[in-house]
Amino acid sequence: IVTYNSLVNGLCKLNKLQEAKELLDEISCKHLVLNEVTYSTLIDAYCNAGDINYALNLCDEMIGKGVLPNVVTYTTLMKGFCRIGKAQKALDLLVEMLKRGVDPDHVTYNTLIHGFCQQGNMEMAFELHDEMSQIHLKPTIVTYNSLIYGLCRIGRFKHAKELIVYVSQKGIELNETTYDTIISAHCNWGNLDEVHYFLDEMAKKGILPTVYTYTALMSKFCKVGQLEEAKEIWNEMLENGISPD
């Protein structure tokens, strides 16, 4: 079944859901039993395809067959709800999983926090962050990247910057996503000084933006007619030994 799970996952990732379904029949013919990994894989695929209802049906189906949803299954469903802007529904699932005796992990919380950040509900996002600490799940850089993203989206740059300092002081390494998040946001809001400030900070830490990041920056500058800024980014990219694609 492990081998089949890999195949199912491969088909799902290629959006070949129909072929994945056919593979399920083949599995049944061989008298192998779908397990929670198979179901979680399928649930993720249908959520990504925008069919959360079918995903929920699959969840009921597995329960009916005595295959219990685990932390990954629930987290996957939560991600599905968050994707369509229903973070509150995702939060309801947290209650349900606890009722069923399944413990959330750091990915579960990161998923929920990201969902609320997307909706601009930073109060709830930070509340969940506090809650995860209380139950001894350590927030990771992914957690903080989501929070920083949420703050930037609503223009709370000062708070975002303070959070970055706080994260560094906790000994958590900032990564490329952290910088990309805050740099892109400042760029969108036209805060050029901050764009350069964080590009410098990034360089100091030895983290190089990718050609993708540079292109995003140049594109935005070009769109608002800041051609000289775009040119500056271009030069900076070449100086850092990054080749245009």
Among 33, 98, 211, 224, binds RNA (CB under 7 A): 211
Residue 1 touching RNA (CB under 7 A)? yes
Contact pattern for RNA over residues 90 through 109, marking x by CB under 7 A: ---------------xxxx-
Residue 143: phi and psi, rounded to 5, are -55, -50
Residue 189 touching RNA (CB under 7 A)? no
Residue 122 touching RNA (CB under 7 A)? no
What's the angle, vertex CA 128, arms to CA 123 and CA 133, rounded to 5? 130
Among 19, 36, 51, 232, binds RNA (CB under 7 A): 36
Q: Which among 25-33, 140-148, 157-165, 194-202 is the span making contact with RNA, rule CB under 7 A?
A: 140-148
| CA 40, 47, 177, 166 torsion-angle sign | negative
Q: Alpha carbon 25 to chain centroid distance?
A: 32
The four Cα atoms 79, 80, 83, 87 give a dihedral, to 10 degrees, of -70
CB 43, CB 55: distance < 8 Å:
yes
Nearer to RNA, 211 or 235 (CB): 211
Among 23, 46, 93, 110, binds RNA (CB under 7 A): 110
Q: Alpha carbon 104 to chain centroid distance?
A: 17
Least Cβ distance, residue 23 to RNA (angstroms)? 13
Of 30, 31, 54, give the one whose Cα is nearest residue 42: 54
Helix (H, G, I), strand (E, B) or coil at 226: coil
Where along the sequence are the contacts to RNA (CB under 7 A)? Answer: 1-2, 5-6, 9, 35-38, 40-41, 44, 70-73, 75-76, 79, 105-108, 110-111, 114, 140-143, 145-146, 149, 175-178, 180-181, 184, 210-213, 215-216, 219, 245
